[in-house]
Structure 1
């Protein structure tokens, strides 16, 4: 079962841990999961391929540039520079790991939209009227209102979204820009065609 199931309607779950703890812990959990497998319930829906790829590219660039910059620095500053670069690479890889190990989750009762770093939105399937593909930018990131669309909430790591859920009625949501009433939720998945078919089947 996707946890939690909210019988009264969709609800926003704020990030439960400080960012540093979440990102660092995600990197450890991702490494461990490579050996023992992921411990999740429900069908995992991956949604952050592009931002993950960007973080890995940034980390690789830091690794390549670090020795070159280090040679230009005097003795003690080389150590300081190395420590800083290790932390920067750790942040990049930690963010990629955080998004990787927090896919959206779907089961026979609920859909949990997750951003990893910015909180989640839990939606009972009984509150969903329809799902459709619709690719467009929704300004900003995290859980926020969409300025140029009425009663629309966006839940994504980047501004890009490619799926819209229509709810059976409007619900109040605690977004980062305040409480808003929304009947539509925009978000992103790696394979929107596969996801809309999967969710459509779960709704039927």
Structure 2
């Protein structure tokens, strides 16, 4: 039952993302700076959509003598296309967001991880196309590639798609403008680290 609820919530987020995309709005950006990560993925999604259309047409021909089944499969195919569009929309409207308190790392509608700036030990531009699963590491590849690596002073908790909690101390993500993200993040980190601590109150 829990899995059903999780999938239903995820599909709802995809549908909301589709509405935001149609309305040319973004989710959770506010006063932060947004960094996209899905440039070039439109062609891939269009390819998947074309395959789905071919499949829908084929099934429509094969099931034309079974009206009830034909209608059910047609509805399912149409909904699949809507979810596919929602996935692409989620990539567009849910970017990474950098503000003065945290870097919000996202991946479509199923990853939304807030990394406080005071937990970031190092950030670097690092293009990787192979990612071995390891404890304490989170790899959010796009097109099998990550381009930014964050090393943390202490772990942050990542909640997986099905609700399992993992502590991660290394986060790898992809950004279309990875060098800009690294540069801006380093600038913000420098500013945050150079803020003087408040002076203790003088003795009474």
For the criterion TM > 0.5, the same-fold answer is yes
- Residue of structure 2 equivalent to 1:180: 167
TM-score, length of structure 2 as denominator length: 0.71
Distance of 1:70 and 1:102 partners within structure 2: 35
Distance of 2:166 and 2:26 partners within structure 1: 34
Select the structure with the greater relative contact order (CA < 8 A; seq sep ≥ 6): 1
Pairing of 1:54-203 with structure 2 (within 5 A): 54-63=44-53, 66-67=56-57, 69-75=59-65, 76=67, 77-136=69-128, 137-139=130-132, 146-147=133-134, 151-156=136-141, 159-167=144-152, 169-176=153-160, 178-180=165-167, 182=169, 184-203=170-189
TM-score, length of structure 1 as denominator length: 0.71
Q: How many aligned positions are there? A: 176
- Residue of structure 2 equivalent to 1:30: 21
Pairing of 1:38-49 with structure 2 (within 5 A): 38=26, 40-41=29-30, 42-49=32-39
- Tell me which structure has the larger Cα radius of gyration: 2
5+ residue gaps, structure 1? 1-14, 140-145
Classify the secondary structure of the residue corresponding to 1:120. Answer: strand
5+ residue gaps, structure 2? 1-5, 191-204
Kept in 1: contact 2:38–2:176 (CA 8 A): yes
Distance of 1:193 and 1:119 partners within structure 2: 22
What is the deviation of 1:87? 1.1
Distance of 1:51 and 1:161 partners within structure 2: 14
Classify the secondary structure of the residue corresponding to 1:126. Answer: helix
Compared with structure 1, are the counterparts of its residues 19 and 38 closer, same or farther at alpha carbon in structure 2 (3 Å cutoff)? closer
- Which structure has the highest strand share of the two? 1
Distance of 2:55 and 2:138 partners within structure 1: 40
After superposition, the CA RMSD in angstroms is: 2.8
